[in-house]
Structure 1
Amino acid sequence: MKKVDAKDKLLEAAERCLMEKGSHAASVKAIAAMADVNHGLVHHYFGSKEGLFIELAKEHLKITTPLKTVATENEVIDFLEETVFFYSRMMVELRALSYQMPELNNVLINILKERRKNLQEILNIDDEQAVILISSVAGLAFQAGLDTSMKLKDALRKVFNLIN
């Protein structure tokens, strides 16, 4: 069994806190309590609360990096269908935090630019089309999260048809 160090515990707890309680409840003490470590370790490992969320955003980018390996529109749709709820929710919570954290805001901007670039290369679309696609998918995630009867894959296909 792999031993999880305090830094990893804090990252996992920060993610869990955001997803379960939202950004408004994501205090250093709450995250440390969820990780079952001393709250001073946030500053030790990350320098600040903002540093913790910057690292989480970067780790989150790694989780969604498989998008680079898909080759077809159908594979992109399948990938989005599997990841859209988690990815969209995480971005909403990180964005809420970034209003008070300018460095985190810059990291999120770079993540979105990277996503757009990946989609442009995979789907042979321009930047504006990539912006429309990402925005549409985020909107679909929001709606599908509320209306579980929605057929997400069908809606994703229609969005792809609109941008082509």
Structure 2
Amino acid sequence: MARPRSGKTPSSPPPEPAAPGVPDARERLIAASSRVLAERGYDATTVKEVARVAGVNQGLVHYYFGSKDALLLAVTREHSQQYAEELRQLREETPLEQLADTSFAWGESHLRESPAQFRLRYELFALGLRNPELTSAVAELQAQGDMEVARTVALYRGGDAAKPEPTDMHYAVIIKACFDALALQALLDPKFDAAPIYALLKRMVLSSVDGPGSAKPARRGTKGQARRGKTPARRRRVPRPPR
């Protein structure tokens, strides 16, 4: 092969621009990890297999994430961001009087349609307890999810202008804890029917949260009793003495 007259070797051709819609290496690794982790579980998943499925060099796993633990965190964070975006869209598009039913149905559908993603959440919870380097990141991920649910509760309770209050966050933690527990039991027992329990949970929550149309008319009483929030006591009928 003839060399150029200048005596220099020819430079490498410039890289071709990425085609539209083709994810980069980091995104391919997250997508591949989600698939491999869901199929094999955390312990059986190897960095080598993730890189093979992603079609990238194995060293890029360590370059972008540093460890398999951090890779699982990135996958779960990606799923959580998708859930948060779906919940925000649900709040924007759902009429207020339908928000409670739609929100509970949306949460229940995730278990039926994405059980593997719940399994990854539990794997991450276990890692957060074992690996101190991940503990704060896992706790932050939980807090972000709680806040999205709290915003939904606040919207149902007070309308568009309502901001989450401490009580809304308390409801959010309870709701998420119940959903996680029901999802875990459903994963462990394929015969477990969570539908009636979801329905009961919804009734319990809605019975204690004042939402649209839930205000009850006050009972009529005297002015003083109305100010004190009391109802008038019945008068006892005194029998007349015999004539």
- Percent identity of equivalent pairs: 28
Match of 1:80 among 100, 107, 116: 107
Q: Deviations over 1:1-50 (max 9, x none)?
A: 73343222211121112211111123322322332332111122223334
2:143 matched to 1:143? Answer: no
Q: 1:100: how far off?
A: 4.1
Check if 1:161 corresponds to 2:203.
Answer: yes
- Deviation (angstroms), 1:102: 3.0
Q: Which moved more, 1:64-73 or 1:94-103?
A: 94-103
Alignment check: 8 A CA contact 1:70 1:122 kept: no
Task: Give the AA of the match of 2:101.
Answer: N
Is it true that 1:96 corresponds to 2:115 in the alignment? no
TM-score w.r.t. length of structure 2: 0.58
TM-score, length of structure 1 as denominator length = 0.82
Q: Which has the larger radius of gyration?
A: 2
Change (3 A) 1:149 1:94: closer
Unaligned runs of 5+ in 1: none
Describe the superposition over 1:70-111 as per-residue Cα deviations: whole angstroms up to 9, x where unpaired. 331112112112213344222112223334433433222112
Corresponding residue pairs, total = 163
Residue 90 (structure 2) aligns with? 70
Query: Does the C-alpha gap of structure 1 residues 149 and 48 become closer, same or farther in structure 2, counting only changes over 3 Å?
Result: closer
Classify 1:86/1:74 alpha carbon distance in 2 versus 1 (closer, same or farther; 3 Å). farther
Aligned residues of 1:17 and 1:25 also touching (Cα < 8 A): no
Instruction: Decide which structure has greater helix share.
Output: 1
Q: Which one-letter code corresponds to 1:68 in the other structure?
A: R
In the alignment, residue 88 of structure 2 is paired with which amino acid?
K
Kept in 2, the 8 Å contact 1:18–1:93? The answer is no
Tell me, yes or no, if structure 1 residue 105 matches structure 2 residue 135.
yes
With CA pairs under 8 Å and 6+ residues apart, which has the higher RCO, 1 or 2?
1
Alignment of 1:6-155 (within 5 A): 6-65=25-84, 66-71=86-91, 72-84=99-111, 85-124=115-154, 125-145=167-187, 146-148=189-191, 150-152=193-195, 154-155=196-197
